Copies of this chain bind each other. A is one copy, B any other.
């Protein structure tokens, strides 16, 4: 079971690594991080590099695709190489999935036309402009289309457990949950834009502005 995870400049690491950690221990799993070229690929802030071990062209027909998000997705909305790869890979994949703003790339590749899909809460309108129907759900599953999309960043872990169940069975997926000890206890309750207080939303806007400046 070949699992391909594209990485690209300014991707969000946890979007990719959350699902990787859940999926890598599934029976027969072979996870391949792929990119425009082989070598290190850095996250938004440049503080972390993950290695792409193969190119898109070298992994044309994976069984599972997990597309992460990140601010770098915006530069790829007209990148024929990755969009063509997503379209081609989806033709034969068992599941094509995205985390966070990875769904913008699925939409740009034409996979989400008129379909309900999840994305990071701050990118819902962009997802709509690309032809999908953004919803507030944490994980959206279209079994008949073999497509799953997840909300922002950490939602990829929930999605990967749902994906593990779809690929195998509930017991196997639950075993992966036990392995990563995923019994979450967030110390606050600000994990969605619907729940966060105005003060928290304002603080986040300040912090994001500071990073850009």
Contacts and interface: CB of A to CB of B under 8 A. Distances in A.
A106 B11 CA distance: 31
A114 interface: no
Nearest to A184: B184
Contacts of A173: 187-188
A60 to B, nearest CB: 19
A199 B171 contact: yes
Interface string A92-105: 00000000100000
A53 interface: yes
A189 B177 CA distance: 8
Interface string A9-46: 00011100110110011110011110000001001010
A190 B207 contact: no
A195 interface: yes
